[in-house]
């Protein structure tokens, strides 16, 4: 990796927690300069605008999440185990490690104001849902889950309930809402286990 590429990656990594906590609108160039310890020109040399940097930051955060979840799920041999492992991962790591969910944090701002970010967030939502659907379908094919387990419906339920629980947990400064939601989602799997 060339020096310019390393510097660009450094800016993305140092800016990521700032954007994820403060949002795009709430993050100033001064915040980015403070996080990176670079002058404004040093940041602008690699990114033409704060918005361009925010797109790269979202890519970075969603890749981190995707890779971390993939690492957890890959190690579990059964579909049932993968589904529970996925839910456990979301329950235990999202609030502490990343300061919340990038899909929620970036998506809430981009829904009506930034069509490029909206498209990126939408793609991340589909990856999230499709992973759950694939686990359930694989479990149905190998006899772990009954055929009446509606993979699409459950994936939508997991995503929407999870995102709402993250939001409320952050607002109330308590992981209780997320923990309880994950417990509910786990319980809903039980009737479909063969």
Say yes or no to pLDDT of 1 above 80.
Answer: no
pLDDT value of position 110? 82
Quick one: 16 exposed, middle or buried, by C-beta within 10 A (0-12, 13-18, 19+)? Answer: buried
pLDDT, averaged across the chain:
93
Distance separating alpha carbons of residues 189 and 194, to the nearest angstrom: 11
Say yes or no to pLDDT of 100 above 90.
Answer: no
Say yes or no to pLDDT of 99 above 70.
Answer: no
pLDDT value of position 95? 63
Structure tokens at 56: 């790269």
pLDDT digits (tens, 9 = 90+) for 141-157: 999 999 999 999 999 99
pTM: 0.89
Q: Is 194 helix (H, G, I), strand (E, B) or coil?
A: coil
C-alpha distances out from residue 133 to 81, 129, 138, 154, Å: 14, 6, 8, 8
* Domains of the chain, start order: 55-192 (1.10.357.10)
pLDDT digits (tens, 9 = 90+) for 103-124: 998 998 887 888 999 999 999 9
pLDDT value of position 98? 61
């Amino acid at each position: 990796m060339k020096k310019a590429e390393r510097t660009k990656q450094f800016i993305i990594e140092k800016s990521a927690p700032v954007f994820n906590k403060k949002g795009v609108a709430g993050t100033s160039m001064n915040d980015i300069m403070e996080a990176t310890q670079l002058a404004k020109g040093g940041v602008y040399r690699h990114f033409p605008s704060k918005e361009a940097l925010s797109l790269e930051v979202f890519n970075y955060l969603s890749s981190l999440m995707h890779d971390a979840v993939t690492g957890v799920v890959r190690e579990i041999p059964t579909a049932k185990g993968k589904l529970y492992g996925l839910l456990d991962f979301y329950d235990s790591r999202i609030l502490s490690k990343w300061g919340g969910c990038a899909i929620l944090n970036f998506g809430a701002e981009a829904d009506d104001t930034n069509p490029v970010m909206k498209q990126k967030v939408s793609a991340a939502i589909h990856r999230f849902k499709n992973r759950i659907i694939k686990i359930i379908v694989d479990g149905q094919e190998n006899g772990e889950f009954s055929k009446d387990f509606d993979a699409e419906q459950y994936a939508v339920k997991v995503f929407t309930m999870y995102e709402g629980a993250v939001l409320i947990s952050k607002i109330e400064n308590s992981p209780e809402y997320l923990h309880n939601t994950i417990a509910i989602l786990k319980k809903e799997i039980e009737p479909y286990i063969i």
